A = this chain, B = another copy of it.
Amino acid sequence: MTYKQLFENIKKKQSYLCVGLDTDINKIPKHLLNNENPIFEFNKKIIDATQKYTIAYKPNTAFYESMGAQGWENLHLTINYIKNTYPDILVIADAKRGDIGNTSKMYADAFFNKLNSDAVTVAPYMGEDSIKPFLKFKNKWIIVLALTSNKGAFDFQFTKENNEFLFEKVIKKCKSWGDHNNIMYVVGATKAKKLQEIRQIAPNNFLLVPGIGAQGGTIEEVAKFGLNKNCGLIVNSSRGIIYADNTENFAKAAAKNAYILQQKMKTTLQKL
């Protein structure tokens, strides 16, 4: 998917919502457990119900890996289902990979070729050769961890050298390896005010923003400090949408919560 295609879809749907598919067998509605494949059944129903309000889905690999080979197969089935049924929607494999060049090449193959995801999240600790192999794929994206939404973000990401934080250094270095057509950054909604400073360094890149809802951030604040002329934001909600209800009504409840967020996003997009 290209930058332009992504922005077109945002304009069409008046949304920059990403739904996080952190699907946990212990949290899905009990009646689904009678299905042959409860996880995939849950995902399909969530996707069908929320796709109107959504421009991206983000399956979190941890939740699938914890189910072994069948989990990996469910990840594959889920991504294929999205790409075959709703090809305009961006699929982000939230994998946070990163290794030496030889290994990152294998990860890029796994996520872009085999799983057919459009984007993969990447941890920057190991530097250039952990990032570059992903950038060789046309119309695919990496989303580099910059300033994350969790408490632990304060441990290392604010390490300061020459008046520059580590997360700023990460963004600046990445700019020499790729551009807004193949790199996005993760910036947590819980650090929304920092978005203003990050926009100085990365004016054109899309930012993937987790941390609204369960983690405490708000759309209004994220939009205020993060929107650029091509929107430039993908805001994720996982638990607040997919676990909105755990009865037979779960998909409708998920759609309702997605709709509420989309409506808020629509308001913030009027200014573009």
Contact = CB atoms under 8 A, between A and B. Distances in A.
A106 B169 contact: no
B150 A127 contact: yes
A66 interface: yes
For chain A, the bracket of interface size reads 35 or more
A130 B159 contact: no
A217 to B, nearest CB: 13
Contact of A65 (B102, B106, B131, B169): B106
A170 B156 CA distance: 8
Contacts of A63: 103, 106
Contact of A152 (B62, B129, B148, B149): B129
Interface string A162-195: 0000100110010000000000000000000000
Contacts of A157: 125, 127
A191 to B, nearest CB: 13
Contacts of A114: 65-68
Interface stretch (A4-12, A69-77, A242-250): A69-77
Interface string A93-107: 010111111111011
A201 interface: no
Contact of A69 (B60, B72, B159, B215): B72
Given A76-B68, A128-B151, A62 B110 contact: yes
Interface in A48-99: 60, 62-63, 65-73, 76, 94, 96-99
A22 interface: yes
Interface string A121-163: 0011111111100000000000001001111111111011100
Given A62-B97, A68-B72, A126-B150, 20 more contacts: A60-B106, A62-B99, A65-B72, A65-B110, A66-B114, A68-B73, A68-B114, A69-B76, A71-B72, A100-B150, A124-B125, A124-B155, A125-B148, A127-B150, A127-B155, A128-B152, A128-B155, A129-B151, A129-B152, A159-B159
30 contacts: A22-B103, A60-B103, A62-B99, A65-B107, A65-B110, A66-B114, A68-B73, A69-B70, A94-B99, A96-B97, A96-B99, A96-B123, A96-B126, A98-B123, A100-B215, A123-B123, A124-B155, A125-B145, A125-B156, A125-B157, A126-B150, A127-B150, A127-B157, A128-B152, A130-B150, A131-B152, A156-B166, A156-B169, A156-B170, A161-B161
